[in-house]
Amino acid sequence: MREATIRWQWQPCSPRPARAAIAWHDAAERLHLRLQRMPVDIVGTLEATGRAGLLIVCGPTEVLPWVDGVDYAAPHQQAPSLWLPTRQEPDLPIEWLQQALQQQRGRQPVLLWPQPAAVIPLDRLLPLSPALLRKLRS
């Protein structure tokens, strides 16, 4: 049996308070440098994950670093295990999308990102520290 394909697009939405900084490529380098300059006690309130060309930092809105080229995400109010850009959302019911991604990926929470298109698990965020910053840099 063939799975049905549902077509959808991103649409603007009312901005939500940021809970994560999402940085790709050069912006990831700038975010990394900014985090290195932040006080250790503030950095310690954040969590992070990353891979080559991507750095994700999560934490309270008031503590997230604001860096040129970095985009921001937050969990959706109607689907808290689905994180989306703060100013965009899919044009289909969010609860359906959350359920489909949970069934497909088996991990929660997840970040659904438009450009580059990606679904990124956020269940392995680690407390941010100078040691983790060094590891994420390499």
pLDDT tens digits for 13-66?
Answer: 999 999 999 999 999 999 999 999 999 999 999 999 999 899 999 999 999 999
Is 8 inside a domain boundary? no
Domains in the chain, number: 1
Would you give the DSSP letter of residue 80?
E
**What pTM was estimated for this model as a whole?**
0.91
No. of helices (H) and no. of strands (E), the chain: 4, 10
> With bands split at pLDDT 50, 70 and 90, how would you rate the model's confidence at 100?
confident
Tokens, residue 14:
């009312």
CA–CA gap between residue 19 and residue 54 (Å, rounded)? 17
Is 7 inside a domain boundary? no
| Residue 74 or residue 104, greater confidence | 74
Is 2 inside a domain boundary? no
Domain of 43 in residue numbering reads as 13-137
* Mean pLDDT value across the chain: 92
Is 49 inside a domain boundary? yes
Is 5 inside a domain boundary? no
Give the DSSP H or E segment for 93. none
Is 18 inside a domain boundary? yes
| Residue 6 or residue 16, greater confidence | 16
Contact residues for 11 (Cβ-Cβ < 8 A; gap 6+) = 88, 89, 90, 91
Is 1 inside a domain boundary? no
Is 3 inside a domain boundary? no
